[in-house]
Amino acid sequence: MASDHDTDRVRRTVLHTMASSGLALTLGAATRAWSAQLATLPFQGGERDITSLFPQKKDMLLLRTRPPLLETPFSVFDQGVFTPNDQFYVRWHLANIPTTIDGASFRLNVHGQVRTPLVLSLTDLLKKFAPVQLAAVNQCSGNSRGLFHARVPGAQWGNGAMGNALWTGVRLRDILDRAGVKRGAVQVRFNGLETGILPTTPDFMKSLDVDHARDGEVMIAYAMNGKPLPLLNGFPLRLIVPGWYSTYWVKMLDNIEVLDQPDDNFWMAKAYLIPDTPHANVTPGQTDVKMIPINRMVPRSFVTSLTDGQHVPAGKPLVVRGIAFGGDAGVRNVQIADGANAPWRETRLGQDHGKYSFIQWETRLTPKNGPLTLRVKATNTSGIAQPDTANWNPAGFMRNVVESITVTAS
Ligand SMILES: Nc1nc2c(c(=O)[nH]1)N[C@H]1C(S)=C(S)[C@@H](COP(=O)(O)O)O[C@H]1N2
Ligand SMILES: [Mo]
């Protein structure tokens, strides 16, 4: 983990740049010329423009302009274990996103069932609370939704609605303890600065149980990979809920309310629900299933050094590498099967950046002439392995089947 020196440097960087995000966001301009480049995700309707026209973002796969849905090109995941801020995926539900935020006048409000409501500036957060750093994967609940059979409605992501970053910020527990949570409080609700276009659109808010909010791991981040958060990833503050799907990782966080009853707002009670079945799995058309809020992530692994359909030299040793994450636990191992009926064998794991981080894996093999199907499977430290068959649910959440790619050696 990072030293105090690193944390100090990050805090200085954030203090230095926080006066303003300094950006004019140009969202929803209908007349833009997209770059001529196209990407094709491996499912029907998977053609995507590649755009670099969003502020603080380089090449991204465009799913929707306003509110933006931008997917990370998969090749980025081969470049390192941390996903660069300028190619980190972007997902917003509501279209009225502030285009500039003045860091000097920004305030975080903490109120509700507390003894002392707080109004905190960014300087307060940086100077009055102990800094913490954590590497953690941010993954959309619907990552890989486009790969569902039968197809399901919702953002048609490939595998790039995820990313790993080193987050710097403060413990949510320290903030809540400063405010003094009252006896009888049950949940803590998080709200960001953006709103819907129509006044009837429910404001995007998510809640955690008080014990989870106070677990010492949930944090409020002011930096991502050592820099202030890009505006589209939640400048100046976002919630980090390690091991949980990113729907809870509220961006542009300016409001924390401690509740004395379970949150029944739309985004908790109606949206982001999964079947209360093993692996949130149901058969298409199945009814009468109890639904619960989505929560912990499950393990996944991917090949990053090769793409499906690629040609490789036959009869020569080939290094194959990729990434994995354990979901709500660390990665115990990543196994590979090279060939349809080949046995699973261990790969070598790279540097450990903590249990919530991506970890790299690597192996060597010598392809024989012809097609070669590679499958990778991660098992986490709780003993949960990726399944060999895909789960299914109507919202297209929590895909984590063993992925495979086929290359041709000649
Ligand atoms: N304020 C706010 N926070 C939000 C959302 C949102 O719409 N508004 N979407 C959530 C969802 S569903 C996802 S997947 C992540 C995406 O985070 P990113 O855009 O930084 O990748 O933000 C989460 N936090
Ligand atoms: Mo999401």
User: Could you tell me if the CB of 235 is within 6 A of ligand 1?
Assistant: no
Residue holding tokens 């001529």?
36
Ligand nearest to the CA of 396: 2
Find out whether 259 and 187 touch, Cβ atoms under 8 Å: yes
Instruction: Please choose, from the candidates 303, 275, 296, 267, the residue with its C-alpha nearest in 3D space to the C-alpha of residue 391.
Output: 275
Minimum CA distance residue for ligand 1 atom 4: 250
What pLDDT score was predicted for residue 389?
96
What pLDDT score was predicted for residue 292?
97
What pLDDT score was predicted for residue 16?
79
CA 173 to chain centre: 22
What is the rounded CA–CA span in Å between residue 316 and residue 202?
A: 58
Mutate to test the pocket of ligand 1, among 70, 164, 251 (most ligand atoms within 8 A of CB): 251
Q: Quote the DSSP letter at residue 114.
A: B
Closest ligand 1 atom, residue 94 Cα: 7
Omega of the bond prior to 394 within 30 degrees of 0, cis?
no
What pLDDT score was predicted for residue 26?
53
Residue holding tokens 């450990």?
352
User: Could you tell me if the CB of 63 is within 6 A of ligand 1?
Assistant: no
Sorted by sequence, the CB contacts under 8 Å of residue 360 that are 6+ apart come out as: 81, 321, 322, 323, 349, 350, 351
Note the helical H segments in 338-407.
none
User: Could you tell me if the CB of 77 is within 6 A of ligand 1?
Assistant: no
Instruction: Please choose, from the candidates 240, 212, 64, the residue with its C-alpha nearest in 3D space to the C-alpha of residue 135.
Output: 240
State in Å: Cα 9 to ligand 2 middle.
31
What pLDDT score was predicted for residue 2?
46
The pTM score is: 0.96
Write the DSSP string, 214-260: TSS--EEEEEETTEEPPGGGTTT-EEE-TTB-GGGS-SSEEEEEEES
CA 264 to chain centre: 24
Ligand nearest to the CA of 145: 2
Instruction: Please choose, from the candidates 310, 196, 208, the residue with its C-alpha nearest in 3D space to the C-alpha of residue 256.
Output: 208
Contacts by residues 10-14 (CB-CB < 8 Å, ≥ 24 positions apart): 10/131, 10/133, 10/168, 10/223, 10/226, 11/126, 11/131, 11/168, 11/223, 13/223, 13/226, 13/227, 13/228, 14/122, 14/126, 14/168, 14/222, 14/223, 14/228
CA atoms within 13 A of residue 155's CA, in its CB half-sphere = 27
Closest ligand 1 atom, residue 233 Cα: 20
> 3-class SS at 104?
coil
What pLDDT score was predicted for residue 31?
41
- Reported residue count of the chain is 410
Find out whether 370 and 330 touch, Cβ atoms under 8 Å: no
Ligand nearest to the CA of 90: 1
Q: Mean pLDDT per segment of 10 residues, for the chain of length 410 residues?
A: 71 76 50 68 95 94 95 98 98 94 94 98 96 98 97 97 98 98 98 94 97 98 97 97 98 98 97 97 94 98 97 97 98 94 96 98 97 97 98 98 97
